[in-house]
Amino acid sequence: MMQATQERKTGVYLCGGCGIAEAVKLDTLEAVASKEYKVPTCRRHEFLCSDDGVKMIKADVAAGSVNQVVIGACSPRVNAERFQFDDTQVIRANLREQVAWCQPPGTDDTAMLAADQMRMAITEARKSSLPARHEGGPYSERILVVGGGVSGLTAAREAALSGHDVVLVEQSDQLGGHARRWSKRMPQRPPYAAPQDNDIDGLIAAVEADPRIELRRNCRVVKTAGGPGKFAITLSQDGAEHEVAIGAVVVATGWRPYDPNKLGHLGYGVSPDVVTSLALEDMLAKGSLKRNSDSRPAQNVAFVQCAGSRDPNHLPYCSSICCGVSIKQALQIREADPDSSVYVLYEELRTPGVAEEFYRAAQRAGVIFVKGSVKGVGADLTVTIDDALLGEEVPLAGLDLVVLATGMVPNSAGMIDGAQEQPAVPAADIDPMSPIAVAGYAAAPPPAPPRPPATQISVAGVPLLNLQYRQGPHLPILADGFADSHFICFPYETRRSGIYTCGPVRRPMDMAESAEDATGAVLKAIQAIRSVSEGRGLHPRSGDLSFPKIGLNTCTKCRRCSVECPFGAIDESPEGFPVVNASRCRRCGTCMGACPVRTISFDNYSVDMLTSMIKAVEVPDEDEEKPRVLVLACQNDAYPALDMAGIGRARMNAYVRTIPVRCMGSVSMLCISEAMSSGYDGVLLMGCKSGDDYQCHFVKGSAMAQERLAKVGETLKSMALEKERVQNIEVSIADAHKLPKILDDYLAVIDRIGLSPLKGFG
Amino acid sequence: MPGQAVESQVILVVGGGIAGITAAVEAAETGYDVVLLEKTASLGGRVAQLNRYFPKLCHPTCGLEINFQRLRGNARIKVFTMATLAGLSGARGRYKASVAVSPRHVNANCTACGDCAKASQTQVPNPFNYGMDKVSAAYLPHPMAYPMRYVVAPQVIGTPEADAIRAACKYGAIDLDEQPKTFELAVGAVIWAVGWQPYDAGKIQSYGYGRVANVITNVEMERLASPGGPTQGRIVRLSDGREAKRVALIQCAGSRDYNHLAYCSRICCLGSLKHAAYLREQYADAQVDIYYIDIRAHDKLESFYRKIKADPQVRFIKSKPASISAGENSDPILHGEDTLTRELYDRPYDLIVLATGMEPSAHGVTPALKLSTDDYGFVVPEIDEEAGIFAAGVAAGPLDVSMSVQSATAATLRAIRAVRTNGAAAHKGQA
């Protein structure tokens, strides 16, 4: 195994297949390895990924003559499973997709590019080692579930059935949450036409009877410290505090109905007979539908859909469940009283999937659906509708009851003693720049580092977990107030490792989907516990054993790393030094990119490694008139796009030298200044889209890079260089077809401003 | 099922779309061995064929790349492409799965160098682009294909061209004699993630799909808008290459209709809103008409709807169109009645896109699977942990990508529990 303490025995293996040998002379590349870099073992094969080729490498590894393998062949994106050797670090030089397949064969420029690919790869090997896993046990396998509604109960039950001990915390004295109030629920079984019995009591009983579940009612989380595998969580129950050791957390704090007092324009408050869906549910549970005002039976009922939802002045989103809920209640009313008249007043009727059958069942049962928007409700319950079909405002009179189908507000923050809304927490509470209370933290504030963009949104109310993290006590939320998640491809991923949200705190959803969501969240919780106990990183660099190490002797306590980490993985010691919580870390390297004194590094990824690779490239002298441009490409998107340009045999600019990076966030501005002082003519950062619709897999990485880049102008100025020499472009993985032009256009800029005056001084 | 021995802890995932891939990597990263079967030549399923996702308009290949990285690096996952589940016998913890593999005629030696494609003259319909263009008979399914391995189309097998293809390969990767084969696997649990297929638009007779020029489906629109598609991303008419600027998007083409699909397919409204965005991005003077019954943009997707609705060049017309006929200059003409104004319309368009729905995959549920389905072919959400077979993704209902991932992650937990050997009893529950 190649580790820091061992003698480094690098072997270089060149493949001549797939057009590589036709594009470049392998002799030249071998000379780079054996003569320039004095690599003792250097072999070639015309078909390296064949059994025979792999056997050749394996023999050297088995003989002990090689403990670090550099492969000059195809892209690291292919054949990773072929080129895998026990306890041996493998470095790939991309000679195929990014040389042979996108450059003319046999030219000097192609040869120079291929040689530089080898130089960079051998340098990468010299400056890195196989990562030694983080040892940080013991780890707890216990799962904390916060919230005792249908999501939380399901999560607790699923985790217990899967062999994990569970602590289930419910802030009230009753389990079941809102689900307890539903007399019936929406159908989940064919023919999906009738309200179904609510089995919440069965679920509560199963949880109560489960010996693996430690049930704590009237209980709150007071604070959460540590990280996945080793959370130390303080609970408060009956005036006493207990600390529990927890491996992972499932947050299932659910929702609350939108405050109807804000719906005066829909008649709430004009009459006691204008009620909310939940109030109607309580009436239905009693078995008879009577008016609040005079206890007369309510026969003529109108439902007002989107009461607060889909309204930029209230809830901008659709609460998803209200159409189904109103249909269910309408059917219950019609079934109890065939003489009743029930209207559903809607703008868009949303019964996705097989719920369409439920909608049809209501139509068959005589429920009247009216498309239009409600303009007002009078004291006599006359509803004025702007009827879409008639194209005019019409009154709907003679009603006994008006039901406002109010929407869902996520409990992304806790409330104080049942108050509906709390004023927003002072911004300082979640300002990443403000210190959090850490015992003994009394040092004078260090010099202010650059302020990160305000991507964190204020959360109203009490922090759910009260995280004792440098970046504040709240779980990050999205613009609509729901808990943050990478909501299309990886919906369970949050920015707080080992903490998974599920149910309506994440997105409006019904009981069935909440149960499904909770089950998935438990899988992720179990997976997180298992991964961190083996020292492996969590999504998206799943399985990565490397983690950031900080050299405290050179640390200036500038706090950039702890401030910029997208995952809140770095805290600060009372003395102000950064403290890495390896199990929270997602291995993106944003801390490394942030550090101005390059004292943060991974075993196999460091600023020293990157700058050495940059300097390994042979930059031609000015009189050769061959520019060199450094491209730092995001490994997940821009780099695959460059590969795909090659797969499509696009002709790419030969003056470009590309280094894949874990994330734009990991790019230190030192890489840029090193490149410029080494005589490169320009640097192009190719990262992912930032902003509201960000596509960065590490959420803030590309935004951080842009933020830092905004200041690179000063550095360039001090070097007497034009600011156009350093550019950032957002490249998506599907942009392969645009890349040849992007690079050519950039080289045209270099051509216009001229070669760097710093050539030959590096 | 107390006392029953678990003989195999392997989880078999059937279907390599987003649900199956998710289930495979989630199970493997939790420490379980997985066999993933995919019936086509590469993983990714319908998602790989999408140009972009709503509402972010980001690229599905971005998330797929991450998932492929997770797959590649994980020795616990074995992937079989061109493979289907032919039979299953036994019980939870000790199933025998029979796997049928169709010939790809290209073996693991393939480096994807492409020399075989150069030796091929025959052009075959490109399945990745729904047959809208052609590829060489030796082809890579698409540039991001995983595994990155070519396929030789059955059309040329037995011809001299096939011999030329074989001769062109330096790596001995072409196997023209490969026969369909079947092998057996011992597995403990099954995740059924066979996904969906677009409803056959030809069955909606009055819409003239396949008969009237320039009437296409929403999945074809995805390929048309994609840089890897038949027109390199230019939204033009296949009949004459003219830019498609006056476009009608027809919602519920098949869905919410007892004659076709009785249910709502959930994703088509958002899909069409996305198509409106593609058109408006491409042509400043595009005029898009969306014919709808209800626009179903649930939760945060509502904001995407609001954004598109604010565009004066996108009209929303509440109507279920009656028919489409062929007009002059290959312009299809849409006929119907506006539900709100009662106005009858006969409007010519450059292009009409039918938002066809999702039908559970024709892969079908084999009786051996012990899964019960509803009238539409979706697996009903009764979780039978004793059987150890769990549906995930669209096999369980018309879901969007995010919900499919949720569903697959939940199914993974159930499957893991089914193959655990240390304790926890199986239970019956419901989703």
d(Cα A73, Cα B153) in Å, to the nearest integer? Answer: 28
- List beta partners, residue A294: none
Q: Smallest CA–CA separation between A758 and chain B, in Å?
A: 38
Residue A745 identity (one-letter amino acid)? D
- Contact present, A641 and A734 (Cβ < 8 Å): yes
User: What is the predicted pLDDT for the residue at A2?
Assistant: 44
Which residues on A lie below 8 Å from B318 (Cβ)? 371, 388
Structural domains of chain B sorted by starting position, each given as residue range(s) with its CATH number in brackets = 11-102+180-195+361-430 (3.50.50.60), 115-168 (no CATH), 200-357 (3.50.50.60)
Q: What is the mean pLDDT of residues B101-118?
A: 97
Fill in the DSSP letter of residue A43. Answer: E
Among the partner residues A318, A350, A354, nearest to B397 by beta-carbon distance? A354
Task: Say yes or no: B430 contacts chain A, CB-CB below 8 A.
Answer: yes
User: What is the predicted pLDDT for the residue at A485?
Assistant: 79
Q: Smallest CA–CA separation between B226 and chain A, in Å?
A: 9
Among the partner residues B144, B303, B430, nearest to A317 by beta-carbon distance? B303
Residue A337 identity (one-letter amino acid)? D
Contact A320 B299 (CB under 8 A): yes
d(Cα A234, Cα A232) in Å, to the nearest integer? Answer: 7
Tokens 């260089």 belong to A721
Among the partner residues B143, B226, B263, nearest to A357 by beta-carbon distance? B263
Contact B29 A527 (CB under 8 A): yes
Residue B201: which of B219, B226, B187, B227 has the closest Cα?
A: B219
Segment 369-388 of chain B within 8 Å of chain A by CB: 374-376, 378, 380-382
Structural domains of chain A sorted by starting position, each given as residue range(s) with its CATH number in brackets = 1-131 (3.40.50), 143-254+411-425+461-533 (3.50.50.60), 258-407 (3.50.50.60), 605-762 (3.40.50)
Contact B299 A507 (CB under 8 A): yes
DSSP state string for B341-393: T--EEEEE-SEEEEEE-EEE-TT---GGG---B-TTSPBPSEEETTTTEEE-G
Residue A57 identity (one-letter amino acid)? I
User: What is the predicted pLDDT for the residue at B2?
Assistant: 46
Angle at the Cα of A95 from the Cα atoms of A92 and A99, rounded to 5 degrees: 140
Q: Is the pLDDT of residue B70 over 50?
A: yes
Among the partner residues A18, A489, A543, nearest to B111 by beta-carbon distance? A18
Tokens 């590019």 belong to A113
Q: Smallest CA–CA separation between B6 and chain A, in Å?
A: 15
Tokens 């549910």 belong to A281
Nearest CA in chain B to A479: B300
Tokens 């024709």 belong to B362
Residue A268 identity (one-letter amino acid)? Y
- With H, G, I as helix, E, B as strand and everything else as coil, classify residue B224: helix
Q: What is the mean pLDDT of residues B370-396?
A: 88
Among the partner residues A318, A507, A515, nearest to B431 by beta-carbon distance? A515
Residue B354: which of B376, B313, B378, B321 has the closest Cα?
A: B321
Residues making up chain A, counted from first to last: 762
Q: Smallest CA–CA separation between B181 and chain A, in Å?
A: 24
DSSP H helices in A337-486 = 356-364
> What is the interface size between A and B, counted as CB pairs within 8 Å?
247
Q: For chain B, how long is the longest CA-to-CA vector?
A: 73
Which residues on B lie below 8 Å from A527 (Cβ)? 26, 29-30
The tokens describing B267, both together, are 């994703």
Residue B249: which of B225, B269, B227, B224 has the closest Cα?
A: B269
pTM: 0.95
Which residues on B lie below 8 Å from A75 (Cβ)? none
On the 0-12 / 13-18 / 19+ scale of CB atoms within 10 A, B107 is middle
The tokens describing B366, both together, are 């084999």
d(Cα A334, Cα A193) in Å, to the nearest integer? Answer: 14
Radius of gyration of chain B (CA): 23
User: What is the predicted pLDDT for the residue at B365?
Assistant: 57
Question: Does an H or E element contain A345, and which?
Answer: strand A341-346
d(Cα A595, Cα A704) in Å, to the nearest integer? Answer: 12
User: What is the predicted pLDDT for the residue at A458?
Assistant: 55
Residues making up chain B, counted from first to last: 431
User: What is the predicted pLDDT for the residue at B423?
Assistant: 47
Backbone torsion region of residue B252, taken as left when φ is above 0, otherwise alpha when ψ lies between -120 and 50, otherwise beta: left
d(Cα B428, Cα B383) in Å, to the nearest integer? Answer: 6
Segment 82-111 of chain B within 8 Å of chain A by CB: 109, 111
d(Cα A479, Cα B300) in Å, to the nearest integer? Answer: 10
Nearest CA in chain B to A150: B431
- Contact present, A696 and A689 (Cβ < 8 Å): yes
Going through B229-378 in order, the beta strands assigned E by DSSP cover: 246-253, 287-292, 314-318, 323-326, 332-337, 344-348, 351-356, 358-360
Q: What share of chain A is helix, strand, coil (3-state, %, to 5)?
A: 30, 20, 50
* Residue B384, phi then psi, degrees to nearest 5: -105, 90
On the 0-12 / 13-18 / 19+ scale of CB atoms within 10 A, A554 is exposed
Query: What's the 3-state SS for A584-614?
Result: CCCCCCHHHHHCCCCCEEECCECHHHHHHHH
d(Cα A707, Cα A252) in Å, to the nearest integer? Answer: 35
d(Cα B40, Cα B84) in Å, to the nearest integer? Answer: 9
Task: Say yes or no: B70 contacts chain A, CB-CB below 8 A.
Answer: yes
The low-confidence residues of chain A, meaning pLDDT below 50, are: 1-4, 418-457
Fill in the DSSP letter of residue A435. Answer: P
d(Cα B30, Cα B8) in Å, to the nearest integer? Answer: 16
- Contact present, A732 and B58 (Cβ < 8 Å): yes
User: What is the predicted pLDDT for the residue at A5?
Assistant: 55
d(Cα A519, Cα A525) in Å, to the nearest integer? Answer: 10
Q: Sheet with A726-730: list strands edge to edge.
A: A656-661, A629-634, A682-687, A726-730
The tokens describing A209, both together, are 């009877």
Q: Smallest CA–CA separation between B127 and chain A, in Å?
A: 18
Which residues on A lie below 8 Å from B148 (Cβ)? 78
User: What is the predicted pLDDT for the residue at A432?
Assistant: 38
Fill in the DSSP letter of residue A617. Answer: S
B1, B18, B25, B30, best to mutate vs chain A, most A CBs in 10 Å: B30
Task: Say yes or no: B339 contacts chain A, CB-CB below 8 A.
Answer: yes
d(Cα A482, Cα A480) in Å, to the nearest integer? Answer: 6
* Residue B233, phi then psi, degrees to nearest 5: 90, -5
Which residues on A lie below 8 Å from B410 (Cβ)? 516-517, 519-520, 523
- Give me chain A's average pLDDT, please: 91
User: What is the predicted pLDDT for the residue at B363?
Assistant: 54
d(Cα A225, Cα A249) in Å, to the nearest integer? Answer: 12
Q: What share of chain B is helix, strand, coil (3-state, %, to 5)?
A: 25, 25, 45
Tokens 């394996």 belong to A58
Among the partner residues A163, A527, A688, nearest to B26 by beta-carbon distance? A527
